[in-house]
Amino acid sequence: MQIEMPQLGETVAEGTITVWHKVVGDRVAAGDALFDVETDKASMEVPATSAGILSEIRVNAGEVAPVGAVVGVIAGENETDASAQASRRTVSAPMTSAPISKQAPEIRPPTSAATSRPARHMTPFTEVVSPGRGYGPARLSNGVSVTPYARRLAAELNVPLAQIKTGSSQRITASVVLAQPRSGGVQGVAGQYEAGSFVAQPVDSMRAAIARRLTESHTSAPIFHLTMDIEMSGIVGRRAQLNALSGESAKVSITDMLVSHWAAALKAVPAANVVWSGQEILKFSRVDIGVAVALDGGLVSPVLRNAAEMSVAELSRALRDLTTRARGKRLKESELQGGVSSVSNLGMYGVRQFDAIINPPQSSILALGAIQRRPLEDKDGKLLFAPVLTATLTCDHRVIDGALGAQLLAKFQELAQHT
């Protein structure tokens, strides 16, 4: 039986195998964990669907394979050597450079050059196709093969593949690309530092995706920022009251309460509960909010669905669950998609104020700073000290104008200070 790279989401075209839990020759039972695969958003464990012996691993840990590619083979307990050889010679449908669709990929007939030798499976040397971008052919004109990850790194680092000398190996991997001399552009940065004074760390799929998406957001969407102070005495007091009535495991946080107020603000200002689709403005009847979660090497923003209809306690439980699974890389692809706005909180690090970058295709993001005691003037003109938080709203001007953004942020301030 052939082990294929599973479909990891509608917009995901490839995955990186991070670890194999079995080695060639191991006995496998149905349901046993075979390997872990990581995309630019999440990580998942892939189980065996049938029993047998793991007879072949075709894509090693650290390598990238397109969805549907054969990454290994499980031979039946009684399978003969001849049938195992036949399984290994089976050629799966390679990825093409055409747009990704849900139809079965076209199987290319072998070329005349390939008819003189037995057909062999091309993974991991088929073309890499990702949404919106491909990284070139899997085999250069001089016959040298290039792994998918190496092609992507070469494109991102501006390394000409044709100029790389491979010797007798006739194969270019990611480590070969990273070892090449670099000049100009991104490479020029490393060239300004003394050799041996730094270590070049390969960019993993999550960090590469963050770089691509947020660069796209910052360069393609016309954005503006609005900043407002929130007097936090009411929230601090209400949180203390709620937690006094709940058990230790059900305590709500300041972030929970602020996310709840942000959802309520978007519901109260429905004109801002929209996204830009390129040719249309999508208006939503419910409020879905992403909440930024910091991970080692990056961050993700799982989406709370219908957040405006949750109580603070319900929202707190849902957010705690999403955060726990995000840090364990156990989120589903669907939990990372969609949403109209996001909330990012750096207050726990002592950051007073910052401008967050919108996570496309969302139209806004609310950045929350630290709560600080600051001098304020009360309604009678007397000076007092109170806890204050600075909130900064980043808006996509294509769908949220300045006045609308100000109305939304003012509604958030009103709800946070008086409800």
* DSSP track, 119-166: ----TTSSPPEETTEE---SB-TTS-EE-HHHHHHHHHHT--GGG---
Q: Whole-angstrom Cα distance, residue 284 to residue 277? A: 13
Angle at 296 between CA 290 and CA 297, to 5 degrees: 90
Tell me the HSE value of 309 on the side-chain side, using a 13 A CA sphere.
6
* Tokens linked to 273: 């509960």
By the 8 A CB rule, do 297 and 206 touch?
yes
- Which of these is catalytic: 21, 261, 397, 418? 397
Angle at 218 between CA 212 and CA 222, to 5 degrees: 140
What 8-state DSSP symbol labels residue 248?
G
Helix spans in 269-401 (H): 312-327
* Tokens linked to 239: 């949180």
What 8-state DSSP symbol labels residue 284?
-
Q: Whole-angstrom Cα distance, residue 50 to residue 33? A: 11
Q: What is the enclosing helix (H) or strand (E) of 202?
A: none
397 in active site: yes
Active site residues: 397
